[in-house]
């Protein structure tokens, strides 16, 4: 019911499009420009008032850091080569862990469609694993795999694996029965139903898990680095924090934000490639903040 009324609305909008477009095209450009302009203005306002407040000693730069101090710390670490080393370690661990966990989890989640019995059997285990804060596994993982990058990859894989598995399995079970019947009416084998219906129709679920997993992978890697490591942005933040070197902490935090945004862009690109057929209103979506 809901669906059909939504479609009707959609069609209605489409037929109305030509006239509406003419009127809103110009304002839309200025809207984008306005958005960016405002963001810039707000950022500059925050940075200048922060810097001013620190210079005039209204706030304690020791407890807050300062924009100029952050910039100096950034340059110093960049020139010493230490920063790139840390960025490299964290990014590599995040990317590898994210990719391995998300891909394996998605494949297994989709594959569970083949065996509802197996899905039922492992259900409590998956739910329990999903509920556990993955960082609680860090001590164990670090004991097994050492304090190097590999243990961080393993942590990120575990953290992303469970989410990807649950989401992909849910997508696979919500596959449209009548599309499966259509396949069967052509005499399709089970593997054909899987590859031609189950996999493509689950892609929105898989992508939404990828999106969530960016955050989970970063939390796992940085958390692991906090606990035991010799490099990485988490390591850098942890050490600097212990020394009350807040400017360096800020550098790490900002770089982590940039890393997350880059990863979102990659997933967004992947989504636009894989879901080019849909008009941005198909499947579940999770916003950046979720």
Partner 1 sequence: MNQNAIRDVVEVRNVSHFFDNPESGSIPVLSKLSLRIRQQEFVSIVGPSGAGKSTLFNIISGLLTPSEGSVLVHGQDIRQSTGHVGYMMQKDLLFPWRTVIENVGLGLEIKGAAKSKRKELGRDYLRRYGLESFADAYPSTLSGGMRQRVAFIRTLVTNPDIILLDEPFSALDYQTRLVLEEEILSVLREQGKTVVLVTHDIGEAIAMSDRVVVMSKRPGTVKQIYDVGLAALHGSALRARADHRYNDFFEAIWKDLDIQIGREA
What gap in Å lies between CA 43 and CA 235, rounded to an integer? 28
CB of 201 vs partner 1, minimal distance in Å: 7
SS3 of residue 74 by DSSP: helix
CB of 108 vs partner 1, minimal distance in Å: 22
And the tokens for 125? Answer: 């285990």
Residue 18 in the binding site for partner 1 (CB under 8 A): no
Mask 219-258, x = binds partner 1 (CB under 8 A)? ----------------------------------------
Residue 279 in the binding site for partner 1 (CB under 8 A): yes
Residue 280 in the binding site for partner 1 (CB under 8 A): no
Kindly tell me which of 39 and 285 has the beta carbon lying closer to partner 1.
285
What gap in Å lies between CA 163 and CA 172, rounded to an integer? 14
Kindly tell me which of 254 and 282 has the beta carbon lying closer to partner 1.
282
Kindly tell me which of 53 and 274 has the beta carbon lying closer to partner 1.
274
Q: What is the dihedral of CA 272, 27, 261, 84, to 10 degrees?
A: 120
What gap in Å lies between CA 41 and CA 56, rounded to an integer? 22
Residue 204, CA atoms < 13 Å, CB-side half-sphere? 16
Residues 6 or more apart whose Cβ sits within 8 Å of residue 197: 175, 176, 179, 180, 183
Number of chain residues interacting with partner 1 (CB under 8 A)? 21
Kindly tell me which of 132 and 282 has the beta carbon lying closer to partner 1.
282
Kindly tell me which of 157 and 201 has the beta carbon lying closer to partner 1.
201
- Return the sign of the alpha-carbon dihedral for residues 19, 23, 26, 29: negative
CB of 4 vs partner 1, minimal distance in Å: 12
Q: How far is CA 103 from the centre of its chain?
A: 14
Among positions 166-205, residues that touch partner 1 (CB under 8 A) are: 178-179, 181-188, 192, 196-197, 200-201, 203
Task: Name the DSSP class of 112.
Answer: G
Q: Which residues bind partner 1 (CB under 8 A)?
A: 178-179, 181-188, 192, 196-197, 200-201, 203, 275, 277-279, 282
């Amino acid at each position: 019911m809901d669906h059909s009324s939504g479609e009707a609305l959609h069609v209605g909008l489409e037929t109305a499009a030509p006239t509406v477009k003419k009127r809103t095209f110009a304002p839309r450009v200025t809207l984008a420009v306005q958005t960016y302009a405002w963001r810039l203005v707000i950022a500059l306002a925050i940075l200048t008032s922060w810097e001013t407040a620190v210079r005039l000693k209204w706030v304690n730069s020791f407890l807050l850091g300062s924009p100029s101090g952050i910039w100096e710390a950034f340059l110093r670490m960049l020139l010493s080569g230490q920063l790139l080393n840390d960025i490299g370690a964290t990014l590599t661990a995040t990317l590898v862990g994210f990719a391995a966990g998300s891909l394996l989890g998605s494949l297994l989640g989709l594959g569970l469609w083949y065996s509802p019995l197996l899905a039922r059997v492992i259900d409590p285990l998956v739910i329990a694993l999903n509920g556990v804060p993955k960082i609680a596994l860090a001590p164990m993982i670090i004991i097994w795999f050492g304090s190097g990058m590999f243990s961080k990859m393993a942590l990120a894989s575990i953290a992303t694996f469970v989410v990807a598995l649950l989401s992909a399995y849910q997508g696979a079970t919500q596959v449209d029965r009548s599309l499966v019947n259509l396949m069967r009416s052509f005499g399709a084998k089970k593997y054909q139903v899987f590859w031609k219906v189950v996999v493509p129709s689950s892609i929105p679920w898989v992508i939404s898990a990828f999106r969530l997993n960016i955050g989970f992978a970063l939390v796992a890697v940085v958390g692991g680095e906090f606990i035991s490591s010799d490099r990485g942005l988490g390591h850098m933040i942890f050490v600097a924090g212990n020394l009350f070197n807040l400017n360096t902490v800020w550098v790490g935090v900002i770089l982590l934000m940039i890393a997350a945004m880059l990863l979102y862009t990659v997933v967004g690109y992947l989504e636009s490639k894989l879901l080019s057929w849909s008009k941005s209103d198909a499947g579940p979506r999770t916003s950046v903040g979720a």
